[in-house]
Amino acid sequence: MNRRNFLSSSLVLGAFAALSRVSGAKSLLSSTQGESSKQKGIEKVIKTDAEWKQLLTPEQYNIMRQKGTEAAYSSPLNDMHDKGTFACAACELPLFSSTTKFDSGTGWPSFWAPIKKQNVREQVDNSLGMTRTEVLCARCDAHSGHVFDDGPKPTGLRYCMNGVALKFVKKA
């Protein structure tokens, strides 16, 4: 099989897989929109674009405000095994605990659950020709990564996060 046929076949299979998940994505979207209205205990952090650019490094700004992604295996947090909390790098809201971190083999820090469901917000992401579930900080709306349904028990979820979007706070 030549390269062009391989790429064409891959795109067709990817499109088919994405279309087969659209109905699930729509139900997920409606359920997460309802959750957003329940997040009354979290006070929003709202800043201008200029303020975010001053607060964040260029890489953090690209990932957290423009929904970019870091290169796989580039984050030191991927190999972090200390006990502690992974907080939003922009507003320091605790997002994940080291007790739910696992090695997914993907090259990004991965967790099977957030510290509190209300600390993260999920929304449908149709970029890159596929449907995924984006994970954002519930306080400042910073893009953190995506969640997939191929994780370990007990949740079966894999929160695949950009390390640059997280700040590790070691447990004392």
Q: In what order do the strands lie in the sheet with 143-148?
A: 101-102, 110-111, 158-161, 143-148, 132-137, 120-125
Segments in 38-55 forming alpha helices (H) = 49-55
CB 136 within 8 A of CB 144: yes
Q: Can 91 be counted among the known catalytic residues? A: no
Backbone torsion region of residue 77, taken as left when φ is above 0, otherwise alpha when ψ lies between -120 and 50, otherwise beta: alpha
Q: Which of 88, 137, 140, 160 is catalytic?
A: 160
Give the residue numbers annotated as catalytic, written as ranges.
Answer: 160
